[in-house]
Structure 1
Amino acid sequence: MAADRIVAQDYEIASRLDQLGLSAGELISVVHQAVAAKANFVLNQPLNAAGQLSYIYGTGALRDILRAKGWLIDRTGNIEATFDPKTGIKIVFQNADSACDDSRDPKAISDKGPAASKAVDLGQRNLFAEYEAEDQAKHKKENAALWYFFVYINGDDVRAELSFPKHIEDGQFKGFNERIYIVKPGEWAMMPKVDDNEPPAQDFEINITRKS
């Protein structure tokens, strides 16, 4: 199912992220830390450890960036999110089986539960003007628009998108209001690499120059 809006051109990506108080460089730094964490998986660890490491360090890296901007840790419904009281949105780090594919919606590696489904449904209120003033006035986290930062890692094929789902059905996302492409197919190999053996940096910045 095609998203209502796909933001894939570089100039559109920068402008849209700026509206959300974000930048591509910040989000790409999160991807770097998630990739490095997954690469630290060793054979003797549980089979799901690679994904767990990516999720743990990806979530932490995202919060390092967002909390410095005034965002808040939010765990409403046991969902590990980060909430912006200014814009009324939340972001969740999510390992995915694909990203930045116009013909295919990203799918969570692990099925989503009832709490995530409820949170996504409540977040649709932000699309309607009659609810906007009320929700912003109350800063009701449970009604925040719930965005997911989908990261796909398969060896050297790494992609990422920041997207706003419409619904969750049978444990998976069903349609998207908007998808913003952050790392598109083939771009990862062109980006500056960091030392995977270095500990995550608190103030980590990457200057990105995309292919023309």
Structure 2
Amino acid sequence: MSNPKILSHAQTIESKLHELGLTRSQLQRAVEAGEAARKSTTENHAANAGGTYAYHETVATLRGFLKPEGWKTSNAGNLAASIHPSGLHALVVTGGSKETGLAGFNPTSRNPKGEQTARFIDRNQHQLELLPLPEEEKKEHDLPEHTWVLMYYSDKDKKEVRFELSLPTNIDERSRMSEWRVRLILGSFSSSWDQMENEDVDSDIEFSEEIEFSIPSKT
């Protein structure tokens, strides 16, 4: 596993975000909205409701910032992505492991991912290695050159939410994003867990953004 380039200096991060057409404020406010949605759940909700609500609201808020700036939305493969006006890079959202947002550790996505994630990670790897993408895959899926991931983690013990913007290059044997070419450590914000005693935060049960449904045809 190659070591990722980790960016943690504020000026360097802002420069890279500007290059991508993003701001730290947009990303943090999207994650904050997701965290507020997580907190809206009660003991009467399903155990995985908090993670589901957080994912949906983070995606929706982020798209609300980006669409007026010309970004396009895509739900190809049941993966919610936002594509830059240039078409050269895209952005997706996921919950991460407890190592998320910590420069000295290697995070993974919290849950296994599906085929569409595997495709864009393969695309990332081909572009970084300057290898041509197989022609049939290029035509079939029409993926951007790079897909970045906004990843967040709600830490109950530290009462904070950490987040980062990273470029994945591989998945592990459990189909989780696990290797990164670049990681932008965006910091954290405080989050009180006084109202969250009934939520199983450490559960791996969370919304999967790539569920595929098979509906049998009527005969």
Q: Distance in 1 between matches of 2:81 and 2:10?
A: 26
Indicate yes or no: 2:178 matched with 1:177.
Answer: no
Return the offset for 1:160.
0.4
Query: Counterparts of 1:195-206 in structure 2 under 5 Å?
Result: none
Contact 1:76–1:142 (CA under 8 A) maintained in structure 2: no
Which residue pairs with 1:111 in the alignment?
A: 112
| TM-score (ref. length: structure 2) | 0.75
State the percentage of identical aligned residues: 24
Which residue pairs with 1:102 in the alignment?
A: 103
Which residue pairs with 2:58 in the alignment?
A: 58
Gaps spanning 5+ residues in structure 1: where? 133-137, 194-212
Q: Equivalent of 2:170, from 164, 167, 174?
A: 167
Return the offset for 1:129.
5.7
Structure 1: which 4+ aligned runs deviate by more than 3 Å?
A: 128-132
Q: Distance in 1 between matches of 2:108 and 2:39?
A: 21
In structure 2, give the amino acid aligned to 1:43. E
Q: Distance in 2 between matches of 1:117 and 1:49?
A: 26
In structure 2, give the amino acid aligned to 1:100. G
Q: Distance in 2 between matches of 1:5 and 1:106?
A: 14
Indicate yes or no: 2:17 matched with 1:17.
Answer: yes
Q: Distance in 1 between matches of 2:57 and 2:8?
A: 26
Give 3-state SS (helix, strand or coil) of 1:6's partner: strand
Which residue pairs with 1:74 in the alignment?
A: 74
In structure 2, give the amino acid aligned to 1:112. K
Q: Distance in 1 between matches of 2:2 and 2:23?
A: 24
Q: Distance in 2 between matches of 1:87 and 1:13?
A: 22
Indicate yes or no: 2:34 matched with 1:34.
Answer: yes
Contact 2:101–2:152 (CA under 8 A) maintained in structure 1: no
In structure 1, give the amino acid aligned to 2:47. L
Q: Distance in 2 between matches of 1:87 and 1:128?
A: 20
Return the offset for 1:106.
2.1
Contact 1:100–1:161 (CA under 8 A) maintained in structure 2: yes
Contact 2:87–2:144 (CA under 8 A) maintained in structure 1: no
Which residue pairs with 2:91 in the alignment?
A: 91
Contact 1:91–1:149 (CA under 8 A) maintained in structure 2: yes
Gaps spanning 5+ residues in structure 2: where? 134-138, 193-219
Indicate yes or no: 2:160 matched with 1:157.
Answer: yes
Please give the root-mean-square deviation of Cα atoms over the aligned residues, in Å: 2.4
Return the offset for 1:103.
3.1
| TM-score (ref. length: structure 1) | 0.77
In structure 2, give the amino acid aligned to 1:164. L
Q: Distance in 2 between matches of 1:41 and 1:174?
A: 29
**Bigger radius of gyration among the two:** 2
Which residue pairs with 1:210 in the alignment?
A: none
In structure 1, give the amino acid aligned to 2:43. L
In structure 2, give the amino acid aligned to 1:47. A
Give 3-state SS (helix, strand or coil) of 1:73's partner: strand
Which residue pairs with 1:120 in the alignment?
A: 121
Which residue pairs with 1:198 in the alignment?
A: none
